């Protein structure tokens, strides 16, 4: 029987990841999995390699695993979601809302994966299209959130929010976050947005430091379409997807946001109580 190929996405900037990587590669081999590493380190371990900029090298993966924090997992998801490759994360960071397996659980997780003892859980993504007139300038997808924010040196960002083509709000703020339920525990939460159960198919619209007493977070079905338009005369804004992939948004353009055609499939190797997880993760900061 052919071995299952496990693509390993390590944050090599973390010392604890670099220390643990040799043991993790050997653990995969011991359980009959074929570890696949980034090109820059694969030769060192004598294993197969992938190149994130070449999707054909990722299509052959059966699973993906991130070694790092939630940021590492989000980077992995950006590459694997369009290819429908399921994945999970081992947390070498701090909070780890998405990379939910800790170092102590790493050994059990790999054994369960090798034995096929897991479930799959799908999470929705958002898609943003930056449009000027009839011209599509850029497209981005996000598992956590899309953020339209003021430029580096600009004043407040002034924008209009349209939902299903109807004007639904005007904002003078540092920015506006459009988050998935998955991303409700991230930037949106820090900006005063609600916690949302991840299986709900909704978008959370949260202003960042709005110059208003009435602008509050909105929760709408993800089936609704969102359009953000800079108010005429505004300075250039920046659109980011999951904190990266920054796109310039001049004031004569608009950002159209809808449910992405892609989903991220998470490999669930343990049972998870989200209410307990929220308490454990968020109480650390009190």
Is 155 annotated in a binding site? The answer is: yes
How far, rounded to the nearest angstrom, does the alpha carbon of residue 187 sit from its chain's CA centroid? 11
- 33, 113, 223 from 4: Cα distances, Å: 5, 10, 36
Strand partners, 101: 90
Sign of CA dihedral 84, 223, 175, 196: negative
Is 70 annotated in a binding site? The answer is: yes
Residue of 30, 62, 70, 102 marked catalytic: 70
Distance linking the first and last C-alpha atoms of the chain? 50
- Residues whose CB is less than 8 angstroms from the CB of residue 78 and which lie 6 or more positions away in sequence, other chains included: 141, 143, 241, 242, 244, 245
**Distance separating alpha carbons of residues 111 and 38, to the nearest angstrom:** 23
Is 215 annotated in a binding site? The answer is: no
3-state DSSP assignment of residue 266: strand
- Residue 134 annotated among the catalytic residues of the structure: no
DSSP secondary-structure letter at 95? S
Enumerate the active-site residues.
Answer: 70
Binding residues for NAD(+): 70-71, 144-145, 155, 174, 185-190
Binding residues: 70-71, 144-145, 155, 174, 185-190
């Amino acid at each position: 029987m052919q071995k299952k190929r496990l693509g390993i996405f390590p944050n090599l900037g973390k010392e604890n990841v670099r220390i643990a990587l040799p043991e993790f590669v050997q653990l995969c081999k011991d359980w009959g999995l074929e570890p696949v590493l980034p090109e820059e380190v694969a030769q060192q371990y004598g294993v197969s390699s992938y190149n994130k900029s070449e999707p054909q090298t990722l299509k052959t993966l059966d699973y993906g695993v991130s070694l790092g924090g939630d940021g590492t997992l989000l980077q992995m998801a950006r590459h694997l979601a369009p290819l429908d490759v399921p994945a999970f994360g081992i947390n070498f960071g701090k909070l780890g809302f998405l990379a939910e397996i800790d170092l102590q659980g790493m050994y059990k997780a790999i054994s369960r994966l090798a034995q096929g003892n897991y479930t799959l859980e799908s999470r929705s993504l958002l898609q943003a299209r930056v449009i000027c007139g009839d011209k599509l300038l850029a497209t981005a997808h996000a598992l956590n959130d899309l953020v339209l924010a003021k430029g580096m040196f600009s004043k407040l960002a002034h924008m209009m929010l349209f939902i299903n083509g109807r004007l639904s709000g005007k904002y003078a703020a540092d920015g506006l976050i459009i988050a998935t339920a998955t991303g409700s525990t991230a930037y949106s939460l820090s900006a005063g947005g609600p916690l949302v159960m991840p299986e709900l198919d909704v978008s959370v619209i949260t202003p960042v430091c709005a110059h208003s007493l009435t602008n509050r977070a909105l929760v709408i079905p993800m089936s609704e379409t969102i359009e953000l338009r800079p108010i005429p005369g505004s300075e250039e804004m920046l659109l980011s997807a999951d904190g990266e992939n920054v796109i310039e948004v001049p004031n004569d353009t608009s950002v159209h946001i809808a449910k992405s055609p892609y989903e991220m499939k998470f490999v669930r190797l343990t049972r998870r109580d989200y209410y307990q997880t929220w308490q454990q993760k968020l109480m650390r900061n009190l």
